[in-house]
C-alpha cells in the first residue's frame, strides 16, 4: 500500500486537520504506540503529502489537500462551498426549531399569531428560518402582518411528503 494512499484514507476517516506528528502516529505503527518520529520518517510523510497534493491539484476533483495552521487536511475546494450551504443540515437552535414546528403545525400562520404563541424572540427566529429557506413570508392582503408557511426545502430537509400538516 502506497504511503500517500494511506494518508489519504486517514484524512478521510479523521475528517479534520492533522499535524505531521499525528499522521506519523496513524501511519507508523497501526495501533501500537509509535516511537519518536525521525527525520527520515518526517521526510517520507512530507514526500507523500506533496505527492497527494500534486495528485489532487492535477485532476478535476472537488477536493484538495491543503496545509493550514491546524495541520494538513482533505477539504472541499472553495468553489464548491455553496453545496455545503445547500446540502449540509442547518444548525438550528432549540428556539428556532420550536418556532419552525409551530409554523409547520399551523401552516400557514399569521406572524402576529406566531408571536402570541412564541413571544417576541420569534421575530428573529422567523428571519433566520426565512434566510435558511425553511419558511416563506407573504404579505397579508387586508392587514399589516405576514402569512408564514413552510417551504419545499422544509419538507425535503425533514423528509416529509409535501402535504399539508394539520
What is the 8-class DSSP label of residue 47? H
Q: What is the pLDDT of residues 77-133, one digit of tens each?
A: 888 877 776 666 667 888 888 899 999 999 899 999 999 988 888 999 999 999 888
pLDDT the model gives residue 30? 60
Q: Fold for 94-157, please state it.
A: Arc Repressor Mutant, subunit A (1.10.10)
DSSP string, 76-98: E-GGGHHHHHHHSPP---HHHHH
Tell me how far apart the alpha carbons of residues 160 and 54 are, in angstroms, rounded to a whole number.
Answer: 43
Q: What is the pLDDT of residues 7-39, one digit of tens each?
A: 999 988 887 889 999 999 888 866 556 678 889
Q: Fold for 3-85, please state it.
A: Arc Repressor Mutant, subunit A (1.10.10)
pTM for the complete prediction? 0.54
The structural domains of the chain, with segments of one domain joined by +, span 3-85, 94-157
3-class DSSP state of 46: helix
- The percent of residues in the chain predicted with pLDDT above 90, rounded, is 42
Report the pLDDT averaged over residues 44-68: 92
pLDDT the model gives residue 165? 46
Amino acid at each position: 500500500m502506497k504511503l500517500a494512499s494511506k494518508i489519504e484514507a486517514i484524512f478521510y476517516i479523521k475528517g479534520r486537520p492533522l499535524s505531521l506528528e499525528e499522521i506519523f502516529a496513524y501511519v507508523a505503527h497501526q495501533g501500537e504506540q509509535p516511537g519518536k518520529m525521525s527525520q527520515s520518517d518526517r521526510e517520507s510523510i512530507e514526500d507523500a503529502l506533496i505527492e497527494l497534493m500534486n495528485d489532487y491539484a492535477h485532476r478535476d476533483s472537488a477536493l484538495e489537500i491543503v496545509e493550514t495552521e491546524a495541520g494538513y487536511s482533505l477539504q472541499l475546494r472553495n468553489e464548491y462551498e455553496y453545496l455545503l450551504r445547500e446540502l449540509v443540515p442547518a444548525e438550528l437552535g432549540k428556539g428556532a426549531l420550536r418556532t419552525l414546528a409551530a409554523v409547520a403545525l399551523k401552516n400557514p400562520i399569521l406572524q402576529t399569531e406566531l408571536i402570541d404563541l412564541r413571544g417576541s424572540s420569534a421575530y428573529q427566529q422567523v428571519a433566520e428560518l426565512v434566510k435558511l429557506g425553511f419558511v416563506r413570508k407573504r404579505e397579508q392582503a387586508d392587514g399589516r402582518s405576514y402569512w408564514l408557511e413552510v417551504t419545499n426545502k422544509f419538507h425535503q430537509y425533514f423528509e416529509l411528503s409535501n402535504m399539508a400538516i394539520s
